[in-house]
């Protein structure tokens, strides 16, 4: 079993949180429901068999992914293989920072998974072939880093306004006011909403809901005896009814149902 992580240096480190490689990690189930967390990533599969996406309700196969694919920010859960004995490299972007690597606005890939060749042509597939020939994981990380710098260096521009908003919503989702944040940034709500949607993939309001949901599942994991009305208020929801509705939309479970599920990894829920 192999699990290794690499944090790239500048300039990539301003946009990418980490590279993560795992191989031969066992699981006692076959299917996970992955919950929305605001992330965008690229996945490189070292096996040739396709990986499937399943219907959230029936668990029937609805999409197959081959070799390399990109997954956009999500506003609803996605059901995927649990990764039994997989060999995978994950390129995980910083929240809201993936846009310079994509040739279209990020809302075009939100709630979607696209094979990499449909987005960038053969480049990532060629990178995968190079990685397959190299067995040392640290050298694989270096090859990925060099590839991304060579291919995307000229477009690596940050967006200070969006980065500020993402930071505020990540730090204190319970306390953020979108209208107050617009005033701090200095743009009209309409202009900032459009800029944010194209840069991140969803509107500020939708992203804030995801961050409040994430705050809630973290607090559920930390709390033994839960007062649900108090938790709804603590996580920034208007009331307990909104909390339950949003939580069920993002996970497929009510908060109370989710609290009874045992999971080893936050945002991954065994469902089959």
On whether both 151 and 25 belong to a single domain, the answer is yes
Q: Are residues 64 and 106 in the same domain?
A: yes
d(CA 20, CA 32): 19
User: Does 250 reside within a domain?
Assistant: yes
Has residue 271 been placed in a domain?
no
Task: State the pTM of this model.
Answer: 0.95
The answer to whether residue 226 sits within a structural domain is: yes
Residue 149: CATH number of its domain: 2.60.120
CATH of the domain at 232: 1.10.10.60
Q: What is the pLDDT of residue 224?
A: 87
| Whole-number pLDDT of residue 264 | 73
Q: Residue 272 domain-assigned?
A: no
- pLDDT, residue 263, reads 79
16 in a domain, yes or no?
A: yes
- Digit-by-digit pLDDT tens for the chain (272 residues) are 999 999 999 999 999 999 999 999 988 899 999 999 999 999 999 999 999 999 999 999 999 999 999 999 999 999 999 988 899 999 999 999 999 999 999 999 999 999 999 999 999 999 999 999 999 999 999 999 999 999 999 999 999 999 999 999 999 999 999 988 888 888 889 999 999 999 999 999 999 999 999 999 999 999 989 999 999 999 999 999 999 999 999 999 999 999 998 777 889 999 99
Whole-number Cα distances in Å, 7 to 29, 39, 234? 30, 16, 32
Range of the domain at 59: 2-155
Indicate the residue among 131, 155, 179 that finishes a domain. Answer: 155
Q: Name the helix (H) or strand (E) containing 176.
A: none
**Which residue, 155, 185, 213, sits at the end of a domain?**
155
Do 149 and 171 sit in the same domain of this protein?
no
Q: What is the DSSP letter of 121?
A: T
Same domain, yes or no, for 74 and 202? Answer: no
Q: Are residues 255 and 142 in the same domain?
A: no
168: CB partners within 8 A, 6+ apart = 176, 181
Residues 23, 140 share a domain: yes
**For position 28, what pLDDT does the model report?**
87
Total count of domains within the chain? 2
Would you call the peptide bond into 11 cis, given omega within 30 degrees of 0 as the criterion?
yes
- Asked if the structure places residue 185 within a domain, the reply is yes
Asked, for residue 144, whether it belongs to a domain, the answer is yes
Does 57 reside within a domain?
yes
Both 129 and 253 in one domain: the answer is no
26 and 97 in a single domain? The answer is yes
**Domain end: 155, 172, 203, which one?**
155
| CA separation for the pair 263, 109 (Å, rounded) | 28
State how far Cα 264 lies from the chain centre. Answer: 18
- CA dist 106 and 99 (Å) reads 6
105 shares its domain with 166: no
For residues 115 and 230, membership in a common domain is answered with: no
Taking the C-alpha atoms of residue 82 and residue 17, their distance in angstroms, rounded to an integer, is 22
Sheet holding 16-23, edge to edge: 2-6, 16-23, 87-93, 41-45, 68-71, 113-115
Which pLDDT does position 83 carry in this prediction?
87
Are 21 and 113 in the same domain?
A: yes
**Pair 205, 145 in one domain:** no
């Amino acid at each position: 079993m192999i699990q290794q992580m690499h944090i790239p240096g500048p300039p990539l480190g301003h946009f990418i949180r980490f590279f993560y490689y795992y191989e031969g990690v066992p699981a006692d189930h076959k299917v996970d429901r992955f919950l929305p967390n605001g992330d965008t990533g690229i996945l490189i599969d070292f096996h040739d068999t396709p990986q499937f996406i399943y219907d959230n309700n029936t668990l029937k196969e609805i999409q197959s992914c081959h070799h390399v694919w990109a997954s956009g920010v999500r506003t609803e859960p996605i059901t995927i293989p649990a990764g039994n004995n997989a060999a995978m490299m994950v390129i995980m972007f910083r929240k809201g920072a993936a846009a310079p690597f994509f040739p279209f606005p990020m809302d075009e890939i939100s709630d979607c998974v696209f094979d990499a060749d449909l987005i960038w042509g053969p480049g990532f597939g060629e990178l995968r072939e190079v990685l397959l020939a190299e067995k040392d994981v640290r050298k694989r990380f270096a090859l990925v880093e060099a590839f991304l710098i060579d291919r995307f260096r000229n477009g690596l521009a940050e967006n200070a306004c969006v980065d500020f908003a993402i930071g505020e919503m990540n730090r204190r989702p319970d306390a953020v006011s979108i209208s107050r944040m617009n005033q701090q940034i200095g743009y009209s709500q309409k202009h900032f909403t459009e800029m944010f949607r194209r840069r991140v993939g969803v509107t500020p309001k939708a992203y804030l809901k995801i961050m409040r949901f994430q705050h809630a599942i973290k607090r559920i994991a930390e709390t033994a005896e839960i007062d649900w009305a108090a938790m709804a208020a603590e996580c920034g929801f208007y009331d307990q009814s909104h909390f339950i509705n949003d939580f069920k939309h993002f996970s497929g479970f009510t908060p109370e149902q989710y609290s009874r599920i045992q999971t080893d990894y936050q945002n991954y829920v065994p469902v089959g």
